[in-house]
Amino acid sequence: MARLTVYLKQHHWGLIATCIALTGTAYAATSLPANSVGSRQIKKEAVTKAKLRAGLLDELTGAAPGSAGPGSPGQDGPTGPRGPSGPNAVSLRVNDVQSETLTEFGSQPTLQPLAQFGPFTATYTCALFNIQYPIASPVFLTAGIRISGLGGTMQTAAINTIDDSNSDDPGTPYSENFASSGGASLPAEIAAMSPPFSGDHYGRSVGRAEVYTDDALWEVTFHLFVDSRLDRHSCSIWGAAYPVG
């Protein structure tokens, strides 16, 4: 007992410090508030795979690449710009050419060169008809594509014509659609005509045609536009021809 008393006298401050330290640790271990331990309080690599509950890693890991399947399709994007013509396409184009004026009865428009494709030759006309003899005829402006080729045939399809002289409703352009026509032996013509007019008008024809022989087949797309507004009397032709098959 005497020895214990001596020991306590010699080491009482150390024993008191040890008791305080143990009491504080127990308090920290048993008195932390809920959800108060975060990543800052956890030592790096203190939580190992062995310490996780079974199945937790599977819950935290996403599906294997490709195993979830494709998502739902998104909305369609805007239409892109028109691509260039194919390598074998032939352009059919004249822009805002001045018309010739025909005043004599029986006159025919002058054929102007347009393009050569395969065994076919395309020419065009742009003429203002103002025939006064033997009787006065309506004045009108016309443009045409004429295709020729030995032994060839042309068949038109899906043609839409429009002009701005609707007599029933002057403020609304008149439009008419034509279904496929029967084949016509070449030479044959695709024409757009402005209506008979006593003022400024325009007319257009849009569509496509097939020209063919026993050995060749070409498709022709066209847009013919005639413009008599402001006394212009001009024609424009936009289109292309390309081989089929």
**Is residue 27's pLDDT more than 50?**
no
- Residue 25 belongs to a domain: no
Distances in whole angstroms, Cα of residue 97 to Cα of each of 126, 174, 225: 8, 24, 11
**For 174-200, what is each residue's pLDDT tens digit?**
677 766 667 889 999 888 777 665 557
Predicted confidence (pLDDT) at residue 102 exceeds the cutoff of 50: yes
In a domain, 74, yes or no: no
By the 8 A CB rule, do 167 and 195 touch? Answer: no
Q: If you average pLDDT over residues 79-108, what whole number do you get?
A: 80
Q: Does the pLDDT of residue 121 top 90, yes or no? A: yes
- Nearest in space to 189 (alpha carbons), one of 175, 209, 204, 206: 209
Measure the CA–CA gap between 61 and 45, rounded to whole angstroms: 19
Nearest to 243 by CA among 199, 213, 198, 204: 213
- Report how far residue 241's alpha carbon sits from residue 116's, in angstroms, rounded to the nearest whole number: 9
Q: What is the pLDDT of residue 95?
A: 92
pLDDT band at 26 (very low <50, low <70, confident <90, very high): very low
Confidence bin at 212 (pLDDT 50/70/90): very high
Residues 211-237, mean pLDDT to the nearest whole number:
89
Work out whether the CA dihedral 39, 41, 44, 45 comes out positive or negative.
negative
pLDDT at residue 146 tops 90 = yes
Identify whether 94 is part of a domain. Answer: yes
Does residue 15 sit within a domain?
A: no
Angstrom CA distances, 30 to 22, 27, 38, 43, stand at 12, 5, 17, 19
d(CA 37, CA 24): 18
Q: Out of 17-26, 51-60, 146-155, pick the least confident.
A: 17-26
Structural domain tally of the chain?
1
Look up residue 3 and give its two tokens: 């020895």
Per the CB < 8 A criterion, the answer to whether 162 and 204 are in contact is yes
In-domain check, residue 172: yes
pLDDT of residue 217: 93
Nearest to 233 by CA among 159, 139, 170, 137: 139
Residue 75 in domain: no
Structural domain includes residue 208: yes
Residue-range definition of the domain harbouring residue 184: 90-243
Residue 6 lies in a domain: no
Query: How much is the pTM?
Result: 0.60
